A = this chain, B = another copy of it.
Amino acid sequence: MSELKVSCFTISLDGFGAGPNQSLDNPMGEGAGALHTWFRGTRTFQRILGDESKGADGPDEDFAARGFENVGAWILGRNMFGPVRGPWPDDSWKGWWGDEPPYHVPVFVLTHHPRPPLEMKGGTTFHFVTDGIESAYAQARRAAKGKDMRLGGGVATVREFLQAGLVDEMHLAISPVVLGSGESLFAGLDLAALGFRCTEHVPTQSATHIVLRKD
């Protein structure tokens, strides 16, 4: 059955998925670069950059690779496509990901800025959804044709989908980093009441991987 999954979603040990003072130059906020050390070392990430020989295998890689398996559509919050602060760029803006984004499937971008679909090289088409998360979910589900949907972030978007009960599985990576402030994944969110429990726990030297599922 088609599920909505959050994968490789990385938080600090104090629960922040993005640091303070997000900006165009620093879209994940101060200190957040250190969150993703585990991911940058993986073969999957280095393959996206163009040379997988620079990446390593192991449990971190296993989780990175799983995040791309059987994904028929993505959903992204607005900030995962365009800059966090300042006016939305004009339609010449084609996302953070270059001419050939690493999605290779339909991607549904939540935004208040209507825009025609944007077809990129390699099978990625960005669709801009202006009528809310339920609509994005329904469109992504149709587009995924029985495969899973992956929800790519950011923090506010993940929280919104969790609260709406639309997320089936969440893989979290807890990095050994203190952010102190920024966007908290957990604040005010009762994951137990939402039905989640921990079904996998794989600690590595770089991160603690946790899989939460609703069953």
Contacts and interface: CB of A to CB of B under 8 A. Distances in A.
Interface in A181-215: 181, 184, 186-187, 189-194, 196-198, 201, 203-205, 208, 210, 212
B203 A208 contact: yes
Contacts of A203: 203-205, 208
For this complex, into which size category does the number of interface residues on chain A fall?
A: 20 to 34
Contacts of A192: 31, 178-181
A208 B14 contact: no
A29 to B, nearest CB: 11
Nearest to A177: B198
A197 B212 contact: no
Given A13-B198, A174-B208, A180-B196, 9 more contacts: A13-B174, A15-B15, A177-B198, A178-B192, A180-B191, A180-B193, A181-B190, A184-B187, A187-B187
